[in-house]
Amino acid sequence: MKRLLIITYYWPPTGGSGVQRWVKFCKYLPQYGWQPVVYTPENPEQLARDESLLSDIPACAEIIKTPILEPYAVYRKLTGGKQGEEVNPVNAQKKNWKQRLSLWIRGNCFVPDPRIGWVRPSVRFLKRYLREHPVDAVVTTGPPHSVHLIGLGLKKALGLHWIADFRDPWTEMFYYKHLGLTPASDRRQHRLEQRVLDGADTVISVSPPVAADFQAKTKTPVVLITNGFDEDDFQVPLNGRSPVCTSLKLVHTGLFAADGNPLNLWDALAERCSADPAFRERLQIRLAGKVDRAITDAIRARGLGGNLVELGYLPHDETVREQRAADILLLPLRQEPEYAKVLPGKIFEYLAARRPVLGIGQEDGAAAQVLRDAGAGEMFDWDKKQALLDFLDADHPRTAGIEKYTRRALTAQLTQILP
């Protein structure tokens, strides 16, 4: 069996969408003749913990861990914040002077990101390890994009076949403009990005527009391998869903940031509740995952507090049950122009749940195209309030043509670009 070294910051029992991509690849790689060898921090920042993901790690996987110095504890002490208080503090709408100062430090003193201190120790450790335990290829997955610099260092030192997997863009990420970079820091970010793109043997992107952006910057082949869903997660019988269900469950799972707050949806629901007491009785707004306080404050401010069900962060298997039990799955996108190129990881599990998806965001974006192609739902611009209500009342076709997004099929794609 060939050996694939996977260098990732996110790994179980850490939870969240950044973990699932490579946990699921590792689950299916042995079926294609590859043993996963995972290198990850011993003490990472854990904004969420999900023990259920440990069951997806195959018995043959080799897990290697080394310590990392985490500067975010200092950040929280400086700003007075608590761990996980904001879904995306970089992109927070309002910042006090401490937050602005710490963001400036984060953007200009830690390039490309605060995990940069793990790069040199990791390169030193892995050079020794790989001489005694050789592998056939290396994959680095970011963000954090400093992880790619470990791959770059190993490529230079050992000449290994190296694949750089980008779960998000680098200098064209939607929050990049909020980092407060000096011109020198901005140039350094772009130089590092270019070195990674040019140094890798193959680059992977998860979204067609982002793949096109990367390909325009480098001669290195850029391959599209999206995120997806694991069929096994959706095989368990769903208990408790009655054929005659009187409630109307609007479900959102995963990160829900303030810059994606769908105010027109809350307004439309509040108006419908005022005009129709029976609708108010039926309505449930179920939020599973890390949710910015601005979201729940906006819902309560419109008199919908009694309809709100805050589930908090759930293990992945419980999240899937929520998705499958929904009447409507909510997919609000961030109100940033760059986000039109992003494919949120949850969209593929939404497809697998085969429940109607109500998207709010760029109608010509990558996520809207996936919904249209699968017949899974619709994407409406943020100002189309009436269209949101009409969607709740409409009949929706059954989702189709999503087999290419299974984790098994995506792993087969991955193995096609391995040496």
- Comparing 239 with 409, the larger pLDDT belongs to 409
Question: How confident is residue 109, by pLDDT bands cut at 50, 70 and 90?
Answer: confident
Q: 197-203 long-range CB contacts below 8 Å, 24 or more apart? A: 197/164, 199/151, 199/152, 199/155, 199/156, 199/162, 200/148, 200/151, 200/152, 200/155, 200/162, 200/163, 200/164, 201/161, 201/162, 201/163, 202/163, 202/164, 202/417, 203/163, 203/164, 203/166
Domain count within the chain: 2
CA distance 351 to 233: 13
Residues 276, 325: one domain?
A: yes
Secondary structure of residue 233 in the 3-state scheme: helix
What is the pLDDT, as a whole number, of residue 100? 74
What is the pLDDT, as a whole number, of residue 84? 46
- Asked if residue 217 has pLDDT above 70, the reply is yes
Check: CB of residue 10 under 8 Å from CB of residue 19: yes
Least confident residue range of 5-14, 46-55, 147-156, 251-260? 46-55
Question: How confident is residue 139, by pLDDT bands cut at 50, 70 and 90?
Answer: very high
Check: CB of residue 411 under 8 Å from CB of residue 20: no
Q: Which domain holds residue 258?
A: 232-401
Residues 330, 301: one domain?
A: yes
Residues 238, 219: one domain?
A: no
* 206-228 mean pLDDT: 97
pLDDT in tens, 158-188: 999 999 999 999 999 988 888 889 999 999 9
Residues 39, 181: one domain?
A: yes
Q: What count of other Cβ atoms lies within 10 Å of the Cβ of residue 405?
A: 19
CA distance 18 to 12: 10
Question: How confident is residue 243, by pLDDT bands cut at 50, 70 and 90?
Answer: very low
- Asked if residue 358 has pLDDT above 80, the reply is yes
What is the pLDDT, as a whole number, of residue 219? 98
What is the pLDDT, as a whole number, of residue 82? 53
* 55-75 mean pLDDT: 87
Residues 208, 247: one domain?
A: no
Residues 369, 383: one domain?
A: yes
Residues 253, 209: one domain?
A: no
Token pair of 318, please? 């419980």
Angle at 81 between CA 339 and CA 147, to 5 degrees: 50
Residue 366: give its domain's CATH number.
3.40.50.2000
Token pair of 116, please? 């940069």
- Residue where the block lists tokens 């059954």: 398
What is the pLDDT, as a whole number, of residue 95? 64
pLDDT in tens, 362-416: 999 999 999 999 999 999 999 999 999 899 989 888 898 999 999 999 999 999 9
- Asked if residue 67 has pLDDT above 60, the reply is yes
DSSP assignment letter at 397: P
DSSP assignment letter at 85: S
Residues 110, 165: one domain?
A: yes
Check: CB of residue 28 under 8 Å from CB of residue 407: yes
* 313-317 mean pLDDT: 92
C-alpha of 253 from chain center: 12
CA distance 102 to 97: 9
- Asked if residue 305 has pLDDT above 90, the reply is yes
- Residue where the block lists tokens 């005022």: 274
Residues 143, 198: one domain?
A: yes
CA distance 398 to 400: 6
What is the pLDDT, as a whole number, of residue 308? 97
- Asked if residue 242 has pLDDT above 50, the reply is no
What is the pLDDT, as a whole number, of residue 280? 96
What is the pLDDT, as a whole number, of residue 105? 81
Question: How confident is residue 93, by pLDDT bands cut at 50, 70 and 90?
Answer: low
Residues 390, 323: one domain?
A: yes
- Comparing 236 with 186, the larger pLDDT belongs to 186
What is the pLDDT, as a whole number, of residue 202? 98
Phi, psi (degrees; rounded to nearest 5) at 123 = -60, -45
Question: How confident is residue 33, by pLDDT bands cut at 50, 70 and 90?
Answer: very high
* 49-78 mean pLDDT: 85
Conformational region of residue 14, where left means phi above 0, alpha means psi within -120 to 50, and beta covers everything else: beta
CA distance 126 to 183: 33
Helix residue spans in 202-276 (DSSP H): 208-215, 263-275
Closest CA to 333 of 292, 363, 370: 363
Angle at 96 between CA 83 and CA 79, to 5 degrees: 35
Average pLDDT over the chain, rounded to whole?
91
Residues 32, 161: one domain?
A: yes
Question: How confident is residue 17, by pLDDT bands cut at 50, 70 and 90?
Answer: confident
What is the pLDDT, as a whole number, of residue 398? 85
Residues 383, 252: one domain?
A: yes
Least confident residue range of 60-64, 263-267, 333-337? 333-337
- Asked if residue 23 has pLDDT above 90, the reply is yes
- Asked if residue 244 has pLDDT above 50, the reply is no
